[in-house]
A and B are shown apart, each in its own frame.
Chain A
Amino acid sequence: MCGTCGCGDPELVPVEVHDRILAGNDRTAAHNREHFEKWSVVAINLMGSPGAGKTAILEATAGHLRHLRGGVRLGALAGDLETHRDAERLEKAGIPSVPITTGSACHLDAELVHRALHDFPWQDLDYLFIENVGNLVCPAIYDLGQSANVVALSVTEGEDKPLKYPVMFRKADLVLLTKVDLLPHLPDVRVEAIRDALRRVNPAPALMPVSARTGEGLSEWIAWLETRRASRTVAAGAVSAS
């Protein structure tokens, strides 16, 4: 007799599943992605260690994008364990933002992003920056529905970070090497060594040295974003035409 419910002689039955444990998150992410594509919103999942310069890069990005012809509409979701400081900084820089306070959770997931979007007029945006929780491990595992993963890595974090955190750097469509204005003070940090480390964990490595302080590299970064936006608009046009 079954010891649990007394339902008679039980039979041990193996059930083959072979399904991703995070299939639920994947479904919500696919739903988010469908929405972003329908409204031609380029959603960027910006990840990196705490203090890598994620917020600073977005502040500088807003300054540059504002001067583009035709105007560019920006928005951000800012994930943090506690406080709304990042969202406040982004607002001040001219990026309407919604904070997502995760409490003790070390990452954003697709559901948190979906819920945050309910309170935010995101459909009119050209770019939605999702500033993930500062962490080089957990955020890499959760698809949010983004168009691209961008990882901010500051020069002070050392040359071997990609080798130490291969899961995160494998997922990066672009690595922004931040704070390069500090390189003259860091004789032991060589950009070429970082590039080499990245090539050993990511089969399509893209590394872009930038400085939010001096503006170095920002025009390349803006060009990268604009290429994404151009292809997104074409894709959405093709969908609505069909």
Chain B
Amino acid sequence: MHEYSIVGALIESIERLARERRACSVRGVFVSIGELSGVEPDLLATAYETFRERTICETAKLTILPVVARWDCPECRQTIARGAILECPQCRRPARLAAGDEIVLERIEMEVA
């Protein structure tokens, strides 16, 4: 259950950002979670609910933006089909993960006086 340690790191960076900008509260938190990131969105949401009490995030709704995994060819950019061997059928180049490993804090909405 590494989702708890991820929420710990998330709340820490939000507290830092809120302090820097002298926010009096945080209302919204938006994170991208890739399909191949190893983070379970449901577990992350549960961990967030548990941890946010008595932190700057107490008033902040968490929105998780799931990102579907997509492999493509670094040469011809052709998308590799899901479940296929990770090599471009034309160029024979090893595929590259174009999207899907994100564990990213995208945006926060804070109240500033």
Binding site for B on A (CB under 8 A): 2-5, 7-25, 105-107, 109, 137-138, 140-142, 166-168, 170, 196, 199-205
Verify A10–B107 contact, CB threshold 8 A.
no
The 8 A CB mask of B3-27 against A (1 = contact, 0 = none) is 0011001101100010001011101
Q: Which residues of B contact A201 (CB under 8 A)?
A: 86
Name B residues whose Cβ lies closer than 8 Å to a Cβ of A: 1-2, 5-6, 9-10, 12-13, 17, 21, 23-25, 27, 31, 36-39, 59, 71, 83-87, 94-97, 103-113
Partner of A10, one of B1, B24, B108: B24
Give 20 new A-B contacts, CB below 8 A, not counting A10-B112, A18-B107. Answer: A2-B25, A5-B25, A10-B113, A12-B27, A13-B23, A13-B111, A17-B13, A18-B104, A20-B103, A21-B105, A25-B9, A105-B2, A106-B1, A106-B2, A141-B2, A141-B37, A170-B36, A196-B85, A203-B86, A203-B96
B104 adjacent to A21 (CB under 8 Å): yes
Q: Which residues of A contact B71 (CB under 8 A)?
A: 203
Report Cα–Cα, A193/B104, bound state, in Å: 35
**How far apart are the CA atoms of A200 and B82 in the complex, in Å?**
9
Task: Tell whether, in the assembled complex, residue A200 and residue B113 are in contact, meaning their CB atoms are under 8 Å apart.
Answer: no
In whole angstroms, how far apart are the Cα atoms of A9 and B111 in the complex?
A: 9
Q: Shortest CB–CB separation between residue A30 and chain B, in angstroms? A: 16
Q: Which of A105, A140, A204 contacts B5 (CB 8 A)?
A: A105
Q: Decide: A166 and B111 in contact? CB cutoff 8 A.
A: no
CB distance from A205 to the nearest CB of B (A): 8
Is B25 a contact of A4 with CB atoms below 8 Å? yes
Q: Is there an interface contact between B111 and A15, defined as CB atoms closer than 8 Å?
A: no
In the complex, which residues of chain A have a beta carbon less than 8 angstroms from the beta carbon of B6? 21-22
Most buried by A among B25, B27, B111: B111
Closest to B111 in A: A10
Partner of A22, one of B36, B103, B106: B103
CA distance A20 to B21 in the complex (A): 20
B111 touches A4 (CB 8 A): yes
